[in-house]
Amino acid sequence: MDAAIVLNDVTKQFPGSADVAVGHLSLSIATGTITVLVGPSGCGKTTVLRMVNRLVEPTSGQILVEGTDIRSQPVHELRRRLGYVIQQTGLFPHRTVADNIATVPGLLGWDKARTAARVTELAELVGLAPDLLDRYPAALSGGQQQRVGVARALAADPPVLLMDEPYSAVDPIVRHRLQDELLDLQQRLGKTIVLVTHDVDEALRLADRIAVVNVGGRLEQYDTPTNVLRQPASAFVEQFLGAERGLRRMGLLHVADVTPSGGAIVSPTDTPATARSAMAAANMTWVGVVDDGRLLGWVDGGDLNGQATVAEAELRPFTTVVQPATVLREALDVVVTSPMLAAAVIDPDGRYLGMITIDQISDGLR
Amino acid sequence: MSAIGEFIDYVTTAGNWTGPKGLLRLTVNQLLVSGIAVVVAAAIAVPAGLGFGHVRRGGLAAVSVANIGRALPSFAVLVLAFGVFSQAGRGLSIWPTAIALTLLAIPPMFTNTYTGVRGVDPRIRDAAAGVGMRRSQQLWKVEAPIALPLVMTGIRVSATQVVATATLGAWVGFQCLGTLIFEGFAQQNDGKIITGAVLVSVLTISIEVALSKLERRLSPWATTPSGGPVDEPPDPTLASPFHPGRPA
């Protein structure tokens, strides 16, 4: 994985300020990933982002974008290769939605037909109805404006997208939807996205890697969301992440991330004695019945008395089932509310993969 | 005869409309001197306002210009300009009036242009720079068009003020609608006085209405009815900086 953006020992001190806004920051951002800079307000995270497109010039240090020093080309040319999405979108109020999206193609001198085709394509990509294109931004809802902001940033297909608190101006439910849209967009486009936010949950949701930034632009931790949650590098990170780290991590992990136990499993043709020893080994009072890789149901230990094979006992359906793609937090909910404190893991083809209980979930979090 | 009757009598006399001191000539002169003043003032004030607004400097200058403009008695400037031009032997020309009116027209245009550019939302400036516009593109493609409604208001305010004040030109011998009023007083001709006053009013109001219309046509976005569709579920943040009036 090569780096799309590299910061080498970058410092920014604003004139007239005693403290540095960003001090000796080094950071390498991998191509095609979403990196989220998260930290309290005033920590310098926005300054870091704005140094990348030179809206702020570093006092010292070097920044490379795709291997080239950002000072080695005219600043407007650099910026046309770095899509920029800002808080409350910064749309041009005097231009229609279509003209807003066409801003960078216009600067690059694209012809009319190419620009129009691109605008149509982008509107579809970000989910804007075509009839909105002729309106002015003021006639759009907050969520729609945000989509226009993203479309404008993507217009000339820049390799990098810089997003500064993009969802701070929309309500939580719309924000959630826009975040989903961004993840979906990223699946298709694979851009290098750097996003700044003060919202920990947004960071955890979106990031491939999180950079937790402290006051003065100090990088406290730079790791995947699950690693940051599992092992905060400092008291600051731990405090910043807030309560319920375990639950939040489970919100990011999936059933596939934990190893299910085989559980007490017998086949329909087994004898009650085999079933009892399987139950004893797993310390359970019931046994799952699997035939040809498929879970048929379960049999209570008491029902086995006097039967010749497991198949003759009453087979009860297994209602607590999860899939490998189930979010671990949901799986935990299923497990703790099931009468047997266990859930069967079944893959989408119906094959039985094992049982998970609280023990397995807990092991998976270590 | 009543004053109204004298007025109707005056304007319905065909001979009053023609000739070197006829109503048509005087109206044209009034418009001509006003036009010169507005164009010259705009050529000075608008670029200056754009420039100072773009670099975000000169706030004090803008306020000072506005205050001086408000305090400056048009009549005094007119007499002063007349004095200066008389020295050059050109007292009885269009120029003293044109210069005085130009000075009168500059402050509203400069202040409004400056305020319009200076007042562009910082986020929009940021976006303009961030998408890769050069400095000049930021000014001409973003700041100036967004300031345009305010610039046009400045021009409209100036123009109406100028057209009305041009009447005073008659005092320094410039043949305009004011001439009717001054002569009317001297000759105790009520019809003439009222004709002058009515024509000045009609001109001023027409200019006001015409420029208001132009203002709206040039900036359709500024009059877009605010409040688009509401996100599902309702989005309380719809009150954008451009339409603060929308109830959340």
Q: Taking residues A67-90, report their average pLDDT.
A: 90
Q: Taking residues A4-8, report their average pLDDT.
A: 95
Phi, psi of A225 (to 5 degrees): -55, -40
What CATH number did the domain enclosing B120 receive? 1.10.3720.10
> How do strand A82-86 and strand A160-164 relate by DSSP bridges?
parallel
Number of domains in chain B: 1
A11 Cβ contact list (under 8 Å, min separation 6): A20, A22, A23, A24, A25, A58, A59, A60, A61
pLDDT at residue A308, as a whole number:
84
pLDDT at residue B71, as a whole number:
79
A87 close to B (CB below 8 A): yes
pLDDT at A116 over 50: yes
Three-class SS of residue A92? Answer: coil
Give a yes or no: residue B29 inside a domain: no
pLDDT at residue A130, as a whole number:
93
B 107-166 near A (Cβ less than 8 A) = 121, 123-124, 126-134, 137, 142, 145-146, 148
B233, A173: Cβ pair inside 8 Å?
Answer: yes
Interface test with A, best of B139, B148, B231, B238 (most A CBs within 10 A): B231
DSSP3 helix / strand / coil % (chain B, rounded to 5): 75, 0, 25
pLDDT at residue B101, as a whole number:
92
pLDDT at residue A47, as a whole number:
94
A107 close to B (CB below 8 A): yes
For chain B, what is the mean pLDDT?
A: 85
> How do strand A60-65 and strand A218-223 relate by DSSP bridges?
unpaired
A103 close to B (CB below 8 A): yes
A135, B224: Cβ pair inside 8 Å?
Answer: yes
**Reported confidence tier of residue A89, pLDDT bands at 50, 70, 90:** confident
Task: Record the tokens describing residue B117, joined without a space.
Answer: 């550019």
Q: Which residues of A touch B127 (CB under 8 A)?
A: 84, 86, 89-92
A142, B238: Cβ pair inside 8 Å?
Answer: yes
Residue with tokens 């400069």: B110
**Reported confidence tier of residue A11, pLDDT bands at 50, 70, 90:** very high
pLDDT at residue A267, as a whole number:
87
Give the Cα-Cα-Cα angle B142, B144, B145 (nearest 5 degrees): 70
Residue of chain A whose Cα is closest to the Cα of B146:
A94
A 130-149 near B (Cβ less than 8 A) = 135-145
* B223-245 per-position pLDDT tens digit: 755 555 566 543 333 333 333 33
A88, B240: Cβ pair inside 8 Å?
Answer: yes
* B134-144 per-position pLDDT tens digit: 999 999 999 99
Work out the angle between the directed axes of helices B23-55 and B177-187 (0-180°, nearest 10): 130
Per the structure, the complete domain to which residue B62 belongs is given by 40-172+204-239
Distance from CA of B42 to the nearest CA of A (A): 22
pLDDT at residue A189, as a whole number:
92
Report the residue count for chain A. 366
Give a yes or no: residue B248 inside a domain: no
Global pTM value: 0.79
* B28-59 per-position pLDDT tens digit: 999 999 999 999 999 999 999 999 999 888 77
Distance from CA of B188 to the nearest CA of A (A): 55
**Reported confidence tier of residue A87, pLDDT bands at 50, 70, 90:** confident
Distance from CA of A170 to the nearest CA of B (A): 6
Cα–Cα distance measured from residue A248 to residue A193, given in angstroms and rounded to the nearest whole number: 23
B123, A87: Cβ pair inside 8 Å?
Answer: yes
Give a yes or no: residue B14 inside a domain: no
DSSP string, B192-243: HHHHHHHHHHHHHHHHHHHHHHHHHHH-GGGGSPS--PPPSS--GGG--TT-
Q: Taking residues B201-228, report their average pLDDT.
A: 85
Q: Taking residues A181-187, report their average pLDDT.
A: 93
Give a yes or no: residue B146 inside a domain: yes
A54 close to B (CB below 8 A): no
**What is the ipTM for the molecules in this complex?**
0.78
Distance from CA of A103 to the nearest CA of B (A): 8
**Reported confidence tier of residue A148, pLDDT bands at 50, 70, 90:** very high
Q: Which residues of B touch A137 (CB under 8 A)?
A: 240, 242
**Reported confidence tier of residue A82, pLDDT bands at 50, 70, 90:** very high
* B49-85 per-position pLDDT tens digit: 999 999 888 778 777 877 887 777 888 888 888 888 8
Give a yes or no: residue B116 inside a domain: yes
Q: Taking residues A122-150, report their average pLDDT.
A: 92
Phi, psi of A41 (to 5 degrees): -65, 140
pLDDT at A1 over 60: no
Q: Taking residues A85-109, report their average pLDDT.
A: 92
Give a yes or no: residue B156 inside a domain: yes
Residue of chain B whose Cα is closest to the Cα of A177:
B232
Give the Cα-Cα-Cα angle A130, A136, A140 (nearest 5 degrees): 70
B240 close to A (CB below 8 A): yes
Q: Taking residues A17-44, report their average pLDDT.
A: 93
A142, B235: Cβ pair inside 8 Å?
Answer: yes
Q: Taking residues A335-363, report their average pLDDT.
A: 86
Q: Could you tell me the sign of the dihedral formed by the alpha carbons of B183, B185, B189, B192, in that order? A: positive
Task: Record the tokens describing residue A331, joined without a space.
Answer: 């799986």
Three-class SS of residue A37? Answer: strand
pLDDT at residue B224, as a whole number:
58
CB atoms within 10 A of CB A46: 23
A88 close to B (CB below 8 A): yes
Give a yes or no: residue B72 inside a domain: yes
> How do strand A294-300 and strand A321-322 relate by DSSP bridges?
unpaired
* A150-175 per-position pLDDT tens digit: 999 999 999 999 999 999 888 888 89
Cα–Cα distance measured from residue B183 to residue B27, given in angstroms and rounded to the nearest whole number: 15
Q: Which residues of A touch B134 (CB under 8 A)?
A: 76
Share of chain A above pLDDT 90, in %: 57
Task: List the A3-12 sheet strands across, edge first.
Answer: A22-30, A3-12, A60-65, A68-69
Give a yes or no: residue B20 inside a domain: no
Residue of chain A whose Cα is closest to the Cα of B231:
A141
Residue predicted with more confidence, A80 or A365: A80
Cα–Cα distance measured from residue A182 to residue A152, given in angstroms and rounded to the nearest whole number: 14
